[in-house]
Amino acid sequence: MRYFIGNWKMFGIPKSINILKKINSFYSKDKNRRKYRVIITPPYTLLETYSKYFKKKKISIGSQNCYHKDYFSSNTSAVSPYMIREAGATYTLVGHSDNRIEGDTNEMLKNKVDFALRNNLKVVYCIGENKTDKKNKKTFSVLQKQISKVLDKKFNKKNIIVAYEPVWSIGTGKLPTKNELTITTLHIKKVLKGIFKKKSLPVLYGGSVDGNNIEMFREIKEIDGFLIGGASKSSKKFIDIIKNYYR
């Protein structure tokens, strides 16, 4: 199974659902549709309406983050996994670099994953080294830490997907080489296997993916799918990625 996840970040108003309707219409008729899943993470403001609309359709809806406590609390602006699930969403991203930069610690991220899973959300756990880590050849140790400090062997691994997003690649057009990406993905899978035993979890790549460079990624069979930011805000660009992946 492959995954194409669109992260809308701070984009979208109610009528932007038309973008998703076009993607859904392509997805429902695509001859390859059984080989992959499409998940879109719009902002919190759209979770309920979009989740209701796509409930019986192909696209799944997720949130971009969740709070590290599970129910209600006195924290202004916080949205808990319970509230997200009640709004109808079925996935959540956790640990996106935008949120790590804003202060998410490993302890908070562990609670987020735990509470999201307990509230029946599937988790897309984001990891990735920054430019300095890469320059100092710390990529493997940073990734190892981000995984082992947050993903607990007691978690239900069937509901966790890992997204490897090198921070220096997000929104920059800069990509890892095919070789770099292959060995890093294999490293991530090895670390995950050490925690969860048996089969590893799906590992996606995220960072400047588009309809042209997807050609390079599809040759790396270790990658189980993609987390797509900028290109997910256009139905054409998003569909082109899927079409070119299966060409």
Contact 44, 67 (CB under 8 A): no
Q: Which of 4, 7, 50, 164 binds ligand PEP (CB under 6 A)?
A: 7
Per rule CB under 6 A, is residue 166 in the interface with ligand PEP?
no
Q: Please identify which residue in 72, 120, 135, 171 interacts with ligand PEP, judged by CB under 6 A.
A: 171
User: What does the alpha-carbon distance between residue 20 and residue 61 come to, in Å, rounded to a whole number?
Assistant: 10
Is there binding between residue 94 and ligand PEP (CB under 6 A)? no
Residue 165 as a binder of ligand PEP (CB under 6 A): the answer is yes
Closest distance of CB 86 from ligand PEP, Å: 25
Listed residue (100, 207, 206, 183) closest to 149, CA to CA:
100
162 binds ligand PEP (CB under 6 A): no
The DSSP-derived string for 144-176 is HHHHHTT--TTS-GGGEEEEE--GGGTTT----
Among 119, 229, 238, 239, binds ligand PEP (CB under 6 A): 229
Q: Map residue 190 onto helix, strand or coil.
A: helix
Q: At what angle do helices 235-245 and 17-29 cross, to 10 degrees?
A: 20
Answer yes or no: are the C-beta atoms of 97 and 167 closer than 8 Å: yes
Distances (CA, A) of 187 to 2, 142, 209: 19, 12, 21
Residues of this chain, 194-213, that bind ligand PEP according to CB under 6 A: 206-209
Provide the minimum distance between the beta carbon of 72 and ligand PEP in the complex, in angstroms, as a whole number.
29
Residue nearest to ligand PEP (CB): 229
The single residue of 86, 96, 215, 222 carrying the catalytic annotation is 96
Q: Is 128 or 196 the residue whose CB approaches ligand PEP more closely?
A: 128
165 is catalytic: yes
Is residue 228 a contact point for ligand PEP (CB under 6 A)? yes
Contact between 230 and ligand PEP by CB under 6 A: the answer reads yes
Query: What phi, psi does 156 have (nearest 5°)?
Result: -75, 100
- What residues are paired with 48 via a beta bridge? none
- Given a contact cutoff of 8 angstroms between Cβ atoms, the answer to whether 179 and 216 are in contact is no
Q: Please pick, among 68, 107, 165, 219, the residue that the annotation labels catalytic.
A: 165
Determine, following the binding rule CB under 6 A, whether residue 170 of this chain makes contact with ligand PEP.
Answer: yes
The answer to whether residues 216 and 169 touch, using CB atoms and an 8 Å cutoff, is no
Give catalytic status of residue 86 as yes or no: no
The residues annotated as belonging to the active site are 96, 165
Residues forming the site for ligand PEP (CB under 6 A): 7, 165, 170-171, 206-209, 227-230
